[in-house]
Structure 1
């Protein structure tokens, strides 16, 4: 489902004399359906950068970054948009939504974008919000007013609303209490069981040990770290 081959990436700091910062050189690995892989490495090693490359926010200078056979290095923008709508979900650390949109609609939106009838989409969104312990009186409010932990749970509900075949998780259990942490780990296990391929960043070592099948240390792909 995920396939990276000989991926290279660098950033040019144009406001600092066009200094080139190498990030990756020759990065490569695969992740199969039903497998959860954790990206590890010291802070600054490039875990988040690699996740953004796999999602198509950053483009590699060379190599292949393929999701379900689509190479995001060469794909047209419309193909990347289709991939994100149908195949590739991304649960980031921070909730970014249009202000004043009710929480129930925020969670249902990925389903509505796929043409799921509104009553069914809202019912599935409600079930996830209930499971993640978001009080029903809050569903009609914008999540921009919520606490950090509540926003994270809304973000997780949104990411799991559609059964994406491929999923990126950036610190999905950070800021959560023990009860909601357990719910999120259950959701990850259920996604794996239905064949979802998952790449995640888990600083929570116990969570990583519970749901991840193996780890990939991105330090090995970094010229700066190797030096």
Structure 2
């Protein structure tokens, strides 16, 4: 489902005389359906860079990033948008939404985008919000007014609303209490059971050991290690 081959990336610092900083070279990674792979490595090793290249926010210098048969490295913007709508989900650490949109609609949006009937999408969103212990009195309010922990849980609900065949998870259990951490781990296990291919950054070692099938140290992809 996710196939990365000979992937390279560098950044050009235009405000520092055009200095080029290579951050990744010759990266290879394969993630099959129903598998969860954890990215590990020291801060700055390239974990987030690799995730953002898979998502299509960072452009690769060379190599391929196949997700469901689409090469993100060379795809047109419209193709990436379609991929994100139907195939590739992303749970980041931060919630970015249009202000004033009610929380239940924020969570239901991925389902509405793929044609799910509105009431069915809203019902599913309500179920996820309840499962993640977001008080019902908040469902009609914009999540931009919520606490950091509540926003994180809304983001998780939104990311798991549609059954994406592939998922990117950026520290999905960070800062969660024991009760909500357990809910998130269960959601990940359910996604694996239905066949989702998952790539994640898990600083929570216990969570990583529970849900991840393999660990990949991205330090092996840095130019210094090549």
Which bracket does the TM-score occupy, shorter chain normalised?
over 0.9
Q: Distance in 2 between matches of 1:73 and 1:138?
A: 40
Q: Deviations over 1:80-102 (max 9, x none)?
A: 11000000000000000001110
Q: CA deviation at 1:175?
A: 1.1
Q: Give the match for residue 176 of structure 1.
A: 176
Answer whether contact 1:143 1:151 (CA < 8 A) is retained.
Answer: yes
Cα RMSD of the aligned pairs, angstroms, is: 0.7
Alignment of 1:1-227 (within 5 A): 1-224=1-224, 226=225
**TM-score, normalised to structure 1's length?**
0.98
Q: CA deviation at 1:29?
A: 1.1
Question: Equivalent residue of 2:6, what SS?
Answer: strand
Question: Equivalent residue of 1:223, what SS?
Answer: coil
Q: Distance in 2 between matches of 1:194 and 1:113?
A: 21
Post-superposition, which runs of at least 4 consecutive aligned residues in structure 1 deviate over 6 A?
Answer: none
Q: Distance in 2 between matches of 1:127 and 1:114?
A: 19
Aligned length: 226
Q: CA deviation at 1:59?
A: 1.0
Q: CA deviation at 1:223?
A: 1.0
Q: CA deviation at 1:46?
A: 0.7
Q: Deviations over 1:122-161 (max 9, x none)?
A: 0000000000000000000110111111000000000000
Unaligned ranges ≥5, structure 1: none
Unaligned ranges ≥5, structure 2: none
Q: CA deviation at 1:73?
A: 1.0
Q: Distance in 2 between matches of 1:91 and 1:181?
A: 14
Q: Distance in 2 between matches of 1:36 and 1:115?
A: 28
Answer whether contact 1:31 1:197 (CA < 8 A) is retained.
Answer: yes
**TM-score, normalised to structure 2's length?**
0.99
